[in-house]
Structure 1
Amino acid sequence: MDQPTGIVSARHRSKKWSGIFYWLVAALFSLAAALFISSIWAAALAEMEIVAATEFASVSIPVKLAAARVKPPRQTAKGLYLTAYSAGNPKKMEEIIKLIGETELNAVVIDIKDYTGYVLYDSHAPLVKKFKTEKILIRNLSALIRRLHEHKIYVIARQTVFQDPALAEKKPEWAFADRGGGVWRDKKGLSWVDATRPEVWAYNLAIAREAIGLGFDEINFDYVRFPSDGDLSRAVYRNGASKRYEVMGKFYSYLSEKLADEPAWISVDMFGLVMERKGEDDMNIGQRLIDAVNVVDYVSPMLYPSHYPVGHLGLTNPADNPGLVIAHDMEEGIPRFTGTRAEVRPWIQAFNLGAVYDGAKIREEIDAVEKYSSAGWMLWNASNRYSDAGLDPAE
């Protein structure tokens, strides 16, 4: 039956507006859903970064973003090394803070991951938890860092990288293999992880990022090299065709890229002889200045006179001539820092080996370094026995 024209027109308009209303609601719902999913994805991205090791396979690692802060200004850091045992001992830290307050010292270098491979604070890095590679010696690391900052002390984290028995035990497929089977070990019985594996790079990056988030001003990467002792002919690594210095150079660049936006500086430790070696000479461990100086902020050669051989510079006992040994290496190496990103801030000897290292010898070392660099120096004593001997008083 035909409907009156007015009624048909009204019903048509009603259907039309109902359709528009339906699609408007659907569009708004879709937009809300998209925004909700987008917010979840953004949050997930804040906790997950896809990291790709240069020219190697990519791996995924969860990371915790550092609190909003900026890098501290570059300064002349005059520091001393502390084990996690010392850093976790309130009485010892009182002594260290007092010593720093009374002398020219203004920095500390604290182990967060040492030669054992264990992470030495309460880490929340998922792989550290999964592999159980932590041994908590510093109970409240962020509080310790805040306290040191209150005393205007520059705080550096020392993180060993490729000498890592703890990780090698948990993930033997990531370690240097022994040609005879099993995991290869150096002359001290310590195992190393394979420096060519991207998983190892990512694991260490996650730890460094977490340390920065806790408040460290700088991450000092140690054992960024291939092994130097033991039966090296039996050690097998994944990408044996690559030159060792190329592997290390790519690792330095990887750290530089991945930590570029973090509020902390990057430094790497090297053998002292790196200051003298030139060309492709990487001492068969992958260390050359040229590969690091444009991608890290500080290079810290270990200029311990006792570690140089008899006859070095014609000396019967290099340890007894610290000023001469250090001045020579500084003079040799400094030109290769000209016009680069990095500054040289060496480790110097504060322990008795080859000679008694009293205040006079420590002062010789400091004066030799400061003649060539204003970036500072760091005292190394494995037992953390320090005094004001050889140090200028606080200004």
Structure 2
Amino acid sequence: MEKKNNPESSEKKDREGAPEKILENKFFIWICATIIFSGLLSLKNDFVVSSGVVSHIVSIIKPSPSPIHLQLDPAPKTVKGIYLTAWSASNPKRINEIINLAKNTEINGVVIDIKDYTGRVFFETQNTLIKEISSEEPRIKNLADLIKTLHQEKIYVIARLAVFQDLYLAENKPEYAIKNSSTGNIWRDNKKLAWVDPGSKYVWDYNIAVVKEAARLGVDEINLDYIRFPSDGAIGQTNYPFFDQSQKTKPEQIREFFEYFKANTRDLGIKTSADLFGQSCFDLSDMNIGQILEYALPYFDYLSPMVYPSHYAPGFIGYKNPALYPYEIIDYSMKKATARRATLHQALNTNLTTASSTALIPHIKIEKLPQNTGLAELRPWLQVFDLGAVYTPEMIRKQIQAVYDNGSTSSPQAGWYLWNPSNVYNQAALEKE
């Protein structure tokens, strides 16, 4: 396990009630006298001092940040969202186009990058850990104002965060990066991107710090992506400074992160979602990346499998080119995921013996999961980009219909996200409200 832990520092102080006016004046005089006498006032450093008394005064003068505004209320029950990069989100013209799209169609949500594979944090924060790493690259100049603008139009705001694929953190804090066992250098995947160790609590705390900053600014939901081990590259040459493969498996390590994440974000007043490989809907293995559906369901409000038909192997369920069969691929995937969700619900929320529960779901250690708990609803990512086929409005609608056809009382239909890296969305594929 990790020996070094550098969690987000807490600057919150309890505020005292307002005293009598005369006491306020005396207290103010005492403060001034103490500062002048000690010679500790530093204009250059904005009251950065070492005296215990004056440090307490500074904390009163500069309290920790409080929430800027609340989340959207009421939030839509069925979220129909589109993906935006930070660059799109920073462009007023583009935002106006998205607002008009929402006004004229069923779209009621946007998923905005606040930290992508580069590892840069795309908005300004007030967190000491993030400042220490210097990972901010505020493409979105005022995230709070953007959220407020979208909320005024009844648009639900989801902030997307890439977690373990993090080029910046790996290169600037290499002690947390996955290493190449042959060279000792930072390991890189086929795209030459670096990853940080999923077993590092420092990495966990850092990402949670970003989440807390986004929540403070009013986002409605946090969407975690790249919550896994690498899937391509020289996997056999990966060396992990914190993840101990002799003590736990990859899916057990990822589950521990999910558990830690939920424990440290449950009081933020926001929803959470997690992106999984589409294959996780039906594959009982972890695909060597640590993702197992049942190990994610208890820890999030929504799970978002990336069920892009173009990403399924040729011959999948009998289709030479799965991209040409959007309804069939989504329908199959969602049916499998919904059935597995129902089975896990039965195992965790009924008076079954441990042996009976294990028999229901033999591919996981069910005793590791919380009992009598709610499970995430399914809200998949759907394909809008052209790959394997030209994705017409009709093909997009077929995917959406497959999602609707797999909603049930036990597994409510929670909506969908549309993914297009170019952020272009054809209004013809969307219904009018």
SS in 1 for 2:279: helix
Kindly provide the CA deviation profile for residues 353-391 of structure 1, in whole angstroms up to 9, marking residues without a partner as x.
000101100000000011113200000000101121221
1:29 maps to none
Aligned partners of 2:110, 2:68: CA distance in 1, in Å?
21
2:341 maps to 337
Kindly provide the CA deviation profile for residues 106-134 of structure 1, in whole angstroms up to 9, marking residues without a partner as x.
00000000111100111222222222212
Residue 363 (str. 1) matches residue 397 (str. 2) = yes
Q: Aligned to 1:292, which of 282, 290, 296? A: 296
Q: Aligned to 1:315, which of 310, 314, 319? A: 319
Kindly provide the CA deviation profile for residues 103-161 of structure 1, in whole angstroms up to 9, marking residues without a partner as x.
01100000000111100111222222222212121101100000000000000000000
Q: Aligned to 2:385, which of 351, 371, 377? A: 351
2:216 maps to 213
Q: Aligned to 2:160, which of 158, 161, 173? A: 158
2:237 maps to 234
1:120 maps to 122
2:269 maps to 263
Residue 390 (str. 1) matches residue 429 (str. 2) = yes
Aligned partners of 1:181, 1:294: CA distance in 2, in Å?
37
| Alignment coverage as a number of residue pairs | 342
1:3 maps to none
Offset of residue 64 of structure 1: 5.1
Q: Share of identical aligned residues, percent?
A: 45
SS in 1 for 2:298: coil
Aligned partners of 1:200, 1:247: CA distance in 2, in Å?
13
Aligned partners of 2:76, 2:245: CA distance in 1, in Å?
38
Q: TM-score, length-normalised on structure 2?
A: 0.75
2:418 maps to 379
Aligned partners of 2:423, 2:127: CA distance in 1, in Å?
28
Unaligned 5+ segments in structure 2 are 1-51, 346-373, 408-412
Q: Which moved more, 1:192-201 or 1:380-389?
A: 380-389
Q: Aligned to 1:248, which of 229, 245, 254? A: 254
Change (3 A) 1:74 1:294: farther
Letter in 1 for 2:340: R
Change (3 A) 1:388 1:71: closer
Offset of residue 344 of structure 1: 0.3
User: Any residues of structure 2 matched to 1:18-97 within 5 Å, and which?
Assistant: 66=67, 69=70, 72=73, 73=75, 75-97=77-99
Offset of residue 69 of structure 1: 4.6
2:197 maps to 194
Change (3 A) 1:232 1:357: same
The structure whose Rg is larger is 1
SS in 2 for 1:136: coil
Cα RMSD for the two superposed structures: 2.3
SS in 1 for 2:429: coil
Kindly provide the CA deviation profile for residues 277-319 of structure 1, in whole angstroms up to 9, marking residues without a partner as x.
12xx111100011111111110000010000010001101100
Letter in 2 for 1:240: Q
Structure number with higher strand proportion = 1
Letter in 1 for 2:389: A
Residue 142 (str. 1) matches residue 144 (str. 2) = yes
Q: Aligned to 1:174, which of 173, 176, 179? A: 176
Change (3 A) 1:266 1:65: farther
Change (3 A) 1:64 1:307: farther
Counterpart contact for 2:69–2:217, Cα < 8 Å: no
Counterpart contact for 2:71–2:220, Cα < 8 Å: no
Letter in 1 for 2:390: V
Aligned partners of 1:71, 1:392: CA distance in 2, in Å?
23
Letter in 2 for 1:310: P
